């Protein structure tokens, strides 16, 4: 990772410019070209330096529903259960935590009833009890990790 990669990552954490050609505007700011910046972004994603690049939607404002949930997965079944969750379109992402509830995931659905039905399906599919942690309050925390 060189200086331009670092500057690109730092700048992208602040969001894309809200203009007709955002990559052109970024290129001007970073003294590069839009083609080069897009190529570098692609490489950073392919190399796993960045794991995701995309918008964050407020699903509730769009009329949908979501929840955070967790499973206590025996270590010998961890990969199997992770793949089961990964196959479900309602699961936005899942990840390991160092805790008795070691697999956490975000579930996004069209309705609250769909959330309930999908959680029940996951319990049946995995044979594991599920911890449902619906949002009680929204907090907006601006994170910025300079590289």
The series of mean pLDDT values per 10 residues for the chain, 147 residues long, is 96 93 97 98 94 78 89 97 94 91 94 96 97 87 82
Q: What's the maximum distance between 2 C-alpha atoms anywhere in the chain?
A: 54
Residue extents of the structural domains in the chain = 3-46, 65-133
| Catalytic site positions | 93
Tell which CATH architecture fits domain 65-133.
Answer: 2-Layer Sandwich (3.30)
The answer for residues whose C-beta is within 8 angstroms of residue 88's C-beta and 6 or more apart is: 118, 122
Dist CA 71 CA 102 (whole Å):
6
Cα 2 to the center of its chain, rounded Å: 25
Q: Report pLDDT for 54.
A: 82
With 0.85 as the threshold, say if the pTM is over it.
no
Structure tokens at 84: 């089961």
């Amino acid at each position: 990772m060189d200086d331009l990669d670092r500057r690109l990552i730092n700048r992208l954490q602040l969001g894309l410019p809200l203009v007709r050609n955002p990559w052109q505007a970024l290129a001007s700011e970073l003294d590069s070209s839009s083609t080069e910046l897009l190529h570098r972004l692609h490489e950073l994603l392919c190399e796993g330096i960045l794991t995701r690049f995309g918008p964050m939607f407020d699903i509730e404002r769009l009329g949908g529903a979501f929840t955070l949930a967790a499973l206590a997965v025996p270590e010998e079944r961890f990969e199997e259960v992770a793949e089961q969750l990964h196959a479900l379109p309602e699961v936005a992402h899942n990840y390991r935590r160092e805790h008795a509830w070691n697999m956490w995931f975000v579930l996004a659905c069209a309705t609250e009833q769909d959330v309930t039905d999908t959680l029940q399906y996951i319990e049946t599919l995995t044979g594991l009890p599920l911890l449902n942690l619906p949002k009680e309050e929204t907090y907006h925390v601006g994170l910025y990790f300079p590289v």
